[in-house]
Amino acid sequence: MTVLADRQPVASGATTQPEPPPELPNVDDAQQFYLSGTYAGSTAAGSWVYQTVTPGPVYYVEPGGLAWVLVKVAEELSRLRQLRPRWDGHRARPITREAIDATARVLARLLDGQSEIPQFFPLPGGGIQVEWLADNQIEIEIDGSGEAHVLATSASGDVLVEGILDPQGPSDLLATVARLVKNLSAEVAAGRQRT
């Protein structure tokens, strides 16, 4: 009889050893990321580094509406980034860094302190779909390579705007979508006050 000393007990029915939880950044690391946009850390799985484009502007957001909106967006993007391969039970890829970054850039250009938070949905190809649903509907699909496509329709089904969004430069399409998000957010807020 051979005794295997290196095996740890696992829950009944489990076929693999449990993975240790990742080491999370501490408050100092969070402050460093907030102020400079950089963080270097390590996890049980190895080292990782996230750095924004350098040189890049550093923004300070006053506490309140926009800060709350940005925190909620960051929470949703972080949740989507944690999806593993085959998260749909089939062949879905994990959400790509390009999709996360492009989604953040697009939403940074569209949202303000009074904006409604969109709904976030992972796409099997590694992309993200964000949408606002009210009388009008705005859907933005960011594919795995980071390209953003928008479709906004009215309550009657008419297409209000459609095309490829480029958050890097000035764009009439981007300005139109930002105006639609602002109007939709105002409608939703007014509806909440009535109830």
Band (43; pLDDT cuts 50, 70, 90): very low
The residue type of 162 is E
Enter the pTM of the model: 0.66
Model pLDDT, residue 126: 95
Strand 46-51 to strand 137-142: parallel, antiparallel, or no bridges (unpaired)? unpaired
Model pLDDT, residue 138: 95
Band (142; pLDDT cuts 50, 70, 90): very high
pLDDT mean over 40-45: 40
**Identity of the highest mean pLDDT range in 4-8, 34-38, 84-88, 169-173:** 84-88
Inter-CA distances, 99 with 93, 106, 157, 161, Å: 12, 10, 28, 22
Considering only CA atoms, which of 76, 78, 112, 117 is closest in space to residue 97?
A: 78
Q: Spell out a b/e string for 23-56, using b for 16 or more CB atoms within 10 Å of the CB, else e.
A: eeeeeeeeeebeeebebeeeeeeeeeeeeeeeee
